Amino acid sequence: MPCARLAAVFLSLAGAALPAGAVEIDGRVAPGEWEGAHRVTDFRKVQPLNGEPASHPTEAWVLAVPDGLAVAFRNVQPAGVPRSRERLPRDFQAQVDRVNLMVDFDGGGRTGYNFTVSATGDVYDAVITAGGGFNSDWDGSWRSAVTEHAEGWEVEMLVPWHVAPMRGGEGETRTLHVYLDRVIGASGERVAWPEASFERPRFLTEFAPVEVPRFSQSLLAITPYSSLVYDNVAGRGDLEAGADLFWKPSGQFQLTATVNPDFGQVESDDLVVNFSATETFFSDKRPFFTENQGLFDFATPSDDSQLLYTRRVGGPADDGSGAGDITAALKLNGNAGTSRYGLFLADESGAVGRTFGALRLTHDLERQNLGLMLTRVERPFLDRQATVLGVDQDWRPTASLSVRTRLLGSRIDQDGATTRGGGITSYADYEMHGGWRQQWMAMHFSDELQINDFGYLSRNDLNYAHWQVSRRLASLPAASRYSAHDWRARVSTTRNDGGERLYDQLRIIRSSRLRDGSEEYAQINVNGAGVDDLLTRGHGSLRLPPRATAYYEYSRPRRGAWAHEVEVEVFGGGLSGNRRLGHFLSYAPTLHVNDRLNLVAGLAIERMPDWLVWQRENLVGSFSERSLELEAGVNWTLAERQELRVKLQALALDARLRQAYRVEGGRALASEDPVDDFAVRTLGFQVRYRYEIAPLSYLYVVYARGGYEQLPHAEDVGGLLGDAFRLRDDEQLLVKFSYRFAR
């Protein structure tokens, strides 16, 4: 296997390091500049994942210098292969020409860092978790440059040693694990060294070991900020000031702290209308909470569940008075040999303020990673103390088998009573020959497990198991419009702790890549009869008939001036099962006016003929629901360090009562209880100007307006959508200035 062969390659640079500044990051791979670097030419296709040689020659150089890890790419791109020209925002999600450097600084297969540079010089960075997930909320301080010529384009990158904590190494060297790849935007082809892929479950452990000199950097960075928010609805302004501190005295220790942090919204969340019994998950883009957060990753395979959900800090206060006011927070990360430790503390002010704490310990062995996380939250307003302990293990007994296990336990002390709960998740991935794979998964969360004081779990009281078989077809005939298919079939069962069957399911999925860079995704779910035990919020379970869902998604990257995204779904549900089918349709085209300016407009239409909504006690209503959602935006790169973004979301929902029901003994009994039709309209609008003064130093000017209104009667959904633009619950102008002083 090519990846196994490359895993034995060590890049020894101990005697070949050039003096500081010998590599000039100007995007030109000059003769002699990369002397002593390891040269990589054996790039193999990993999208499609067939290991064939790259369609177009790609070379890379890797060199350790005192200032950081330096990497260069030379990408041959003939005139017949279209080149990406568009300018993109940081952390872009676009099918364009780009290169990636990914580094596991510890080499333990637990946390990696992704550094991406597009052919136009735009950047993306992210933290990679052991499960292969990429979190782009983190922004690092690193350098890159790009040049273009007739034969192709070149990239140079320099990642400082202070970007992340790392092991001390032995003697004069340390071992990093590195992965390099290149993506051709016109076809979607990805070629990599070594032949590793995030489509496989053990991506981080397949990076190539790289032995480098034991360079180290210290860093002290202070980022003071000031912000002025004017509330146009209340007619008053508010001036805030504070500072973030980042201190790294050595490669083995980092400390991050914040005093009176400003968490004003310069990033807007997507609109969500949620009538279900489960909480909506939102990612966190606040800088303090994204810096070196990878160590604290403790996720289970249950949706977005994790033990440390940073949106809790500064979230809604326990007395309902608004958001919690954070006084200060501190986070430290460190290494001791193959062990790592982390401490997280945050405190909110006032009588209702909460205190959050988390301790994280990990230890890496050759074939497995072990970890422990302990969290504690003090909530004086509720007379509640919540303690959660988690133990995680990632085990790789063979080259083909990976097993991940998570143990959870919670203790809640409230009003003189103590409640204890527990949970376990375990799943195994087995890579077979010929593109075949299998996965087994089991989860148990007791009905008294509570981690949501500091973590996120969509629901407890759950028992789940599945078996999945997959086949990857990555060497399709040249005449096919597709370059690869990935087929998956899964059977699963889900029950609560009381033994009630929620549903059994057959799921079939096909993910496909086309030779023009487009992507397709199709999924069919067939659910057996079961119960909904959350709908009535503890007033009885409701038996539901079998139901099925068919979903299709297609995205085509930019061709000429246009890019397109389409989603279609047909589904059964409610008490009607498959007798009354609902549908969802979304179309979102993007018009590229030029390479610096694009306009996005999307419309989504939904129809649910039997939508069950809880009213009170055991009373529910079955509604005929229609909704329209409009999304629009402007993305404009004004100059090299300036960008203007406009984001608009408006949603209108009309729900007309079909029948009211009382849930008794698992059955829905028709009721004459009065239940009203209702309608919802909501708006989110933001105009954001950002000027990058220096690395991680910004001036923001943000205008935001939004609102939510629920009406006790039905309305025409088209008129509702138009009326949403008059909503004005919130209207703010924010000006924020931050500057990073570093030495």
Give the tokens for residue 639. Answer: 């100059």
Q: Which two tokens stand for residue 85?
A: 């020209």
Instruction: Please give the pLDDT value at position 1.
Output: 40
194 preceded by a cis bond (ω within 30 of 0):
yes
The secondary element (H helix, E strand) that includes residue 678 is: strand 678-694
Q: Is the separation of the CB atoms in 621 and 675 below 8 Å?
A: yes
Q: Which sequence spans correspond to the domains of the chain?
A: 2-217, 246-263+279-428+447-457
Residue 651 and residue 270: Cα distance in Å, rounded?
A: 11
**What are the backbone angles phi and psi of residue 553, rounded to the nearest 5°?**
-135, 135
Rounded distance between C-alpha atoms, residue 67 and residue 294, angstroms: 23
Least Cα distance to 632 among 646, 612, 614 occurs for: 646
Enter the tokens of residue 437.
């794979």
Q: Are 208 and 7 in contact (CB under 8 A)?
A: yes
Q: At a CB cut-off of 8 Å and minimum separation 6, what does 274 contact?
A: 280
CA 271 to chain centre: 17
| CA neighbor of 148 nearest in space, from 57, 74, 58, 93 | 74
Task: Convert the pLDDT of each residue in 594-618 to its tens digit.
Answer: 999 999 999 999 999 999 999 999 9
Nearest to 543 by CA among 490, 503, 584: 503
Q: What is the pLDDT of residue 5?
A: 40
Identify the burial level of 351 via C-beta atoms within 10 angstroms of its C-beta, where 0-12 means exposed, 13-18 middle and 19 or more buried: exposed
H/E stretch holding 2: helix 2-6
475-480 — which CB contacts under 8 Å span 24+ positions? 475/48, 475/50, 475/52, 476/48, 480/515
Tokens of 597: 């300016």
Burial of 93 (0-12, 13-18, 19+ CB in 10 A): exposed
pLDDT confidence of residue 664: 96
The residue length of the chain stands at 743
The position carrying tokens 């690869």 is 484
What are the residues facing 423 on neighbouring strands? Answer: 408, 445
What secondary structure, in 3-state letters, does 183-238 show?
Answer: ECCCCCCEEEECCCCCCCCCCHHHCEEEEEECCCCCEEEEEEEEEEEEECCCCEEE
Under 8 Å CB-to-CB from 314, ≥6 apart: which residues?
261, 263, 323, 324, 325, 326, 348
**Contact (CB, 8 A) for 600 and 588:** yes
Question: What's the CATH class of domain 2-217?
Answer: mainly beta
Residue 299 DSSP label: B
| C-alpha 265 chain-centroid distance | 19
Contact indicator for 139, 90 with CB cutoff of 8 Å:
yes
Beta carbons of 718 and 673 less than 8 angstroms apart: no
Token pair 């069957």 in the structure block, residue = 501
Residue segments in the chain with a per-residue pLDDT below the cut of 50: 1-21
Q: How far is CA 458 from CA 68, 108, 449, 743, in A?
A: 41, 30, 12, 43
Residues 6 or more apart whose Cβ sits within 8 Å of residue 566: 552, 553, 554, 555, 586, 587, 588
H helix or E strand, kind and range, residue 471 = strand 462-473
Query: What does the alpha-carbon distance between residue 481 and residue 172 come to, in Å, rounded to a whole number?
Result: 52
Q: What are phi and psi of 159, to 5 degrees?
A: -105, 110
Question: What does the longest C-alpha to C-alpha distance in the chain come to?
Answer: 85
- Say how many CA atoms lie within 13 Å of 625 toward its Cβ: 24
pLDDT tens-digit readout, 416-474: 999 999 999 999 999 999 999 999 999 999 999 999 999 999 999 999 999 999 999 99
3-state secondary structure of 288: helix
Q: Which residue pairs, CB below 8 angstroms and at least 24 apart, start in 341-350?
A: 342/295, 342/296, 344/296, 344/308, 346/313, 348/313, 348/314, 348/317, 348/324, 349/325, 350/325
Q: What confidence tens digit (pLDDT) does each residue in 539-555 have?
A: 999 999 999 999 999 99
Q: If you ran DSSP here, which 8-state letter would residue 268 be given?
A: P
DSSP string, 39-53: EE---EEEES-S-PB
Query: Considering only CA atoms, which of 521, 488, 493 is closest in space to residue 507?
Result: 488
CB 297 within 8 A of CB 306: yes
Which segments within 365-456 are labelled E, that is strand? 368-379, 384-395, 401-414, 417-431, 436-445
Distances (CA, A) of 449 to 236, 314, 419, 613, 691: 43, 23, 9, 26, 46
